[in-house]
Amino acid sequence: METAFSSEPEGAIRRWASYLVIDQQTLNTLREFYWVMEQNIDDILSHVYAHLSRNRETAHFYQDEQSVKRAKAHQREHMMRYVFRGNFGAEYYNATNRIGKTHHKLGIDFKIYSGAYCIVLSQLAGVVYKVLAPEIGNVQRYMTALNRVIFMDMGLATSVYYDTACLELEELAHELNFALAKAGEFRDNETGEHIKRISRMSFELAKAAGQEPHWCKMIQIASPLHDVGKIGVPDGILLKPGKLDDQEWNVMQQHPAMGGVIIPDNKSELIRMARRISLTHHEKWDGSGYPAGLKGEEIPLEGRIVAICDVFDALLSTRPYKRPWSMEEVVTYLRDNRGKHFDPQLLDIFIENLANMQLIRRQFEDAVSPEIVAD
């Protein structure tokens, strides 16, 4: 089996091969009867593309002879070089993904694309029975091998449709999150770059803390909504150029809870994370934060991560009521609040990755600074 499949990135091939029982015996059978395909592949593809050219669902893709010729040539190369030869390595994986992406880009419906494999299998069966009969044992062995690799090829190629759809939904969710988050940030005299910095810093801190890639991607998408509750804070308080009085501060402290109302308690894992971040990013490790006074690991990990990134970025930024702190002042503040405001282990990781965080600050630098009230 080790000779059949090379190293990563073809982990997906290994999973399909295991599921469809594409073992060394299967590969040996493919190579034993490879000559059958060599002698008959052109006739097989001619029948397949004749069918596709006549069918009303697919005919418009093959309106001229050159289109058919190109499609046949590409499929012949793919089948003979990889599938019928049992050559399943990184090169095959990349080639199969390119095919899936091309067909998706052309707008070929998933059902039509997968259905075309059935037509190919039907033609293969006819040829194999004709050429290898009356050796029925060989017919059965070869058809079993062909079925397994054809379905693996179809699965890998059509998975691109699913992956692309997921990516499009993820990008849409990210854009919608930023749009909603900007509504809160713009009311707070922010330029919008703050939420981009928080998004990237949260991702980097989560990754450095050893979280799995999917979780890191989720916090990158969810974290921009940390201050969405500011939408519910009156302008007179939110935009006040100076220190808030006790009553105003009590109102300001409601914005995490307001965010919890704005972001629904949804079954989506991503939306639930965004809601937890909104509710808990002002909680403190020692229990002195708000709105719930959570302490230590009672605060969700995502809330603890965003808390560090948010304070770091806010202290370095110009606000209507303050000038930006120096990096030295900010790092001193963070260290002084280790185990008080901030999760001590996460803060250590953040400081270790300070260079990355500074790079993010430079990449998403504020274009316009808010007007500062004189001290």
- For residues 23 and 79, what is the distance between their CA atoms, to the nearest angstrom? 19
Q: In which residue are the tokens 């300001």 written?
A: 252
* CA–CA dist 309, 96 (Å, integer): 41
Tokens matching residue 92: 């095959």
- How many Å apart are CA 117 and CA 161, to the nearest integer? 15
- Which of the residues 230, 284, 322, 340 is marked catalytic? 230
Measure Cα distances from 341 to 45, 284, 333 in Å: 68, 4, 10
340 is catalytic: no
Question: 27: burial class by Cβ within 10 Å (0-12, 13-18, 19+)?
Answer: buried
Do 106 and 61 touch, CB atoms closer than 8 A?
yes
**Which one, of 277, 275, 294, lies nearest residue 286 by Cα?**
294
Active site residues: 230
